[in-house]
């Protein structure tokens, strides 16, 4: 997994402004007076909905492709948690397996998949390496 992002559909409203929905995350709905404001709010609602799904242990949907709309990325903390969880699950590894690979406790490994844990870049690099990946950061 390289980028955690989801397709957002923007719909102009007759009274003005835009409504944003996510086909893959039906509970994520927001709006804004302008396209830019609507997309700004979209980041917040996407982040909150993914945080809730992660903390509830729900599966995270694979992002759909789209023909019109915009890609929206959640907060960096959510992106990190999703990236670690997805990479671990794709390999069929448990949190215990990850903890052993990192030489740490199960609780510490679990925090790496929490959007509220705020791991350091060094911790994320070690985790990526333990999962046979490498950490790549970008600013857009």
Same domain for 61 and 85, yes or no, is no
Same domain for 16 and 60, yes or no, is yes
Is residue 135 one of the residues assigned to a domain?
no
Same domain for 62 and 19, yes or no, is yes
Same domain for 16 and 62, yes or no, is yes
pLDDT band at 3 (very low <50, low <70, confident <90, very high): confident
Same domain for 53 and 99, yes or no, is no
- Judged against a pLDDT cut of 90, whether residue 81 lies above it is answered with yes
What's the CATH code of the domain at 54?
A: 3.30.160.250
Is residue 140 one of the residues assigned to a domain?
no
Entry pTM: 0.84
What's the CATH code of the domain at 100?
A: 1.10.260
- Judged against a pLDDT cut of 60, whether residue 1 lies above it is answered with no
- Judged against a pLDDT cut of 90, whether residue 59 lies above it is answered with no
Task: Give the span between the Cα atoms of 100 and 119, in whole angstroms.
Answer: 18
- Judged against a pLDDT cut of 90, whether residue 73 lies above it is answered with yes
The strand ranges marked E within 13-91 are 18-21, 29-32, 70-72
Q: Span 57-61, mean pLDDT?
A: 88
As given in the structure block, the two tokens for residue 113 are: 């998949």
Same domain for 35 and 83, yes or no, is no
Same domain for 94 and 44, yes or no, is no
């Amino acid at each position: 997994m390289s980028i955690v992002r989801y397709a957002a559909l923007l719909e102009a409203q007759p009274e003005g402004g835009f409504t944003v929905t996510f086909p893959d995350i039906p509970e994520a709905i927001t709006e804004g007076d302008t396209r830019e404001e609507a997309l700004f709010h979209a980041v917040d609602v996407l982040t909150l909905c993914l945080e809730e799904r992660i903390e509830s242990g729900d599966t995270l949907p694979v992002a759909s492709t789209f023909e019109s709309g915009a890609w929206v990325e959640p907060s960096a903390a959510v992106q990190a948690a999703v990236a670690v969880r997805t990479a671990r699950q794709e390999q069929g590894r448990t949190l215990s397996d990850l903890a052993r690979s990192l030489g740490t406790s199960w609780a510490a490994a679990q925090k790496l998949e929490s959007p509220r844990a705020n791991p350091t870049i060094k911790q994320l690099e070690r985790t990526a390496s333990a999962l046979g990946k490498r950490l790549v950061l970008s600013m857009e």
